């Protein structure tokens, strides 16, 4: 929303940002088709207000890995197994976005034909926001699900070894006049980036966010960065930490084990220099008309979502949101007023343009 556009942000536009991302990736050898998919996913994240998964990652997660030979610019992609209701793809250590988008497209086409389908991608890299792929279902009267395992930085309940990524799960369900229900969440309490932000600001962490390397809960961000994130629900089992841990492990199984990819201890941890991601993605889709007339369903979705939004507020609160609503409003705002890019990210993109020898022309005019 407009209030995030402070002096820390500069404004770009959707087409300019996408063109810049595409040009940068093409410059390091990515095909125009693949580059434009990555651009679409990254800029969608910025427009939805999920800056951590947007153009801020262009250099560190994608361009620098391609230049270091750790991520294949032109991967050999293989369909490993395929049935009328399932597909398994090996991404050949390429970018996660094109492999993810094309596989979800196949899952959606299968679901449109058979009613229900599942898919997975192995040997892939970071694919941006999981919600993007789930949302591909929305205008087809299909319910979409997407997930990915990720670089390890979380510990299981009662443990201290770093065994799980933030392992997000996303669900997208269409409504009629209301914005769609889009639930896209990490199965850890907070992302690793939050520890880094608190560390820079010298702020104490909340209880329930992280442990130190010995497995003891800590509120010191610097100590936590050498330890591990806690699963959603926090430390131990009293507030349901075992539930978040169970969800994180579920994601690792559905992505890594089901695809025959890397899982558990074999997943990489953050490393410098970076290594191939070796992560996997999981997708599912099923048709609403297997149950009900989609128009009636979507009208009832409006009733359901409005019931929550219109319900009584707790003291000091003036709104109750449903999942995806904030991101939807930010997208509308970004279309109208421009896409906010943090000045540090902006400067990083300008530096990248210089390194790659490509034009830097993203400012909103």
Among residue numbers 9 through 68, which ones bind a copy of itself (CB under 8 A)? none
b or e along 183-204 (b: 16 or more beta carbons within 10 Å of the residue's beta carbon)? bbbbbbbbbbebbeebbeeeee
Subset of 304-333 contacting a copy of itself (CB under 8 A): 304, 307-308, 311-315, 317, 319-323
Contacts of 278 (CB under 8 A, 6+ apart): 93, 123, 261, 262, 266, 267, 268
As a whole number of angstroms, the distance between CA 286 and CA 196 comes to: 38
Which phi-psi region, left, alpha or beta, contains residue 148 (left: φ > 0; alpha: ψ -120 to 50)? Answer: beta
Residues 199-258 that bind a copy of itself (CB under 8 A): 206, 208-209, 211, 214-216, 232-234, 238-240, 242-244, 246-247, 249-250, 252-254, 256-258
Q: Which is nearer to a copy of itself, 39 or 154 (CB)?
A: 154
Residues of this chain, 127-156, that bind a copy of itself according to CB under 8 A: 143, 155-156
| Least spacing, CB of residue 292 vs a copy of itself, in Å | 5
Residue in the structure block whose two tokens are 């991101």? 327
Report the nearest approach of a copy of itself to the CB of residue 261 (Å): 10
Of these, 4, 31, 76, 158, which contacts a copy of itself (CB under 8 A)? 158
- Closest approach of a copy of itself to the CB of residue 209, in Å: 8
Whichever of 62 and 286 has its CB closer to a copy of itself, that residue is 286
Strand, coil or helix: 281: strand
CB of 163 to a copy of itself, least distance (A): 6
118 binds a copy of itself (CB under 8 A): yes
Q: Which residue lies nearer to a copy of itself by CB, 117 or 362?
A: 117
| β-sheet bridge partners, residue 83 | 86
Among positions 78, 79, 83, 177, the unique one binding a copy of itself when judged by CB under 8 A? 83
The angle formed by the CA atoms of residues 256, 257 and 260, to the nearest 5 degrees, is: 85
Torsion over CA: 189, 194, 195, 198 (sign) = negative
- φ, ψ at 335 (rounded to 5°): -65, -40
Binding residue (CB under 8 A) for a copy of itself from 31, 78, 204, 303: 303
Q: How far is the CB of 21 from a copy of itself (least distance, A)?
A: 29
Selected binder of a copy of itself within 160, 176, 219, 364 (CB under 8 A): 160
Binding region for a copy of itself (CB under 8 A) out of 12-20, 27-35, 116-124, 133-141: 116-124
Size of the site for a copy of itself (CB under 8 A): 85
Distance in Å, CB of 278 to a copy of itself, minimum? 15
- The least distance separating a copy of itself from the CB of residue 273, rounded to whole angstroms, comes to 26
- At 8, is the secondary structure helix, strand, or coil? coil
The one among 65, 101, 287, 330 contacting a copy of itself by CB under 8 A: 287
Q: Which of 39, 190, 195, 225 binds a copy of itself (CB under 8 A)?
A: 190
Could you give the 3-state DSSP secondary structure of residue 83? Answer: strand
Pairing of strands 210-211, 181-185: unpaired
C-alpha torsion 185→119→46→27, nearest 10: 140
Q: Please enumerate in sequence order all residues whose Cβ is within 8 A of that of 340, keeping only pairs 6 or more positions apart, or say none.
A: 4, 5, 9, 10, 11, 46, 334
């Amino acid at each position: 929303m407009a209030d995030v556009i402070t002096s820390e942000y500069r404004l770009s536009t959707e087409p300019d940002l996408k063109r810049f991302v595409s040009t940068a990736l093409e410059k390091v050898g990515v095909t125009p088709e693949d580059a434009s998919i990555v651009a679409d996913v990254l800029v969608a994240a910025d427009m939805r207000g999920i800056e951590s998964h947007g153009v801020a990652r262009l250099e560190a997660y994608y361009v620098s890995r391609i230049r270091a030979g750790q991520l294949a610019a032109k991967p050999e992609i293989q369909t490993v197994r395929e049935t009328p209701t399932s597909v398994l793809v090996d991404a050949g250590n390429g970018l996660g976005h094109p492999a993810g988008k094309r596989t979800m497209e196949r899952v959606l086409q299968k679901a449109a034909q058979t009613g229900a389908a599942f898919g997975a991608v192995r040997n892939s890299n970071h694919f941006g926001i999981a919600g993007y792929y789930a949302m591909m279902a929305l205008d087809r009267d299909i319910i979409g699900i997407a997930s990915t395992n990720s670089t390890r930085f979380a510990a299981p309940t009662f443990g201290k070894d770093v065994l799980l990524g933030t392992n997000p799960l996303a669900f997208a369900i269409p409504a009629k006049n209301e914005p769609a229900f889009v639930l896209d969440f990490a199965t850890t309490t907070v992302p690793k980036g939050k520890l880094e932000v608190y560390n820079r600001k010298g702020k104490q962490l909340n209880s329930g966010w992280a442990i130190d390397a010995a497995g003891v809960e800590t509120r010191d961000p610097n100590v936590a960065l050498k330890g591990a994130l806690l699963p959603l629900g926090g430390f131990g089992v009293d507030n349901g930490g075992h539930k978040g841990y169970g969800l994180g492990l579920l994601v690792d199984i559905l992505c890594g084990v089901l695809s025959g990819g890397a899982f558990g201890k074999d997943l990489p941890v953050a490393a410098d220099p970076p290594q191939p991601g070796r992560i996997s993605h999981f997708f599912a889709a099923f048709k609403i008309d297997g149950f009900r007339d989609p128009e009636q369903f979507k009208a009832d979705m409006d009733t359901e979502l409005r019931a929550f939004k219109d319900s009584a507020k707790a003291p000091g609160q003036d709104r109750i949101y449903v999942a995806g609503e904030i991101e939807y409003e930010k997208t509308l705002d970004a279309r109208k007023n421009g896409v906010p890019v943090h000045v540090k990210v902006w400067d990083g993109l300008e530096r990248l343009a210089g390194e790659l020898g490509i034009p830097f022309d993203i400012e909103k005019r």
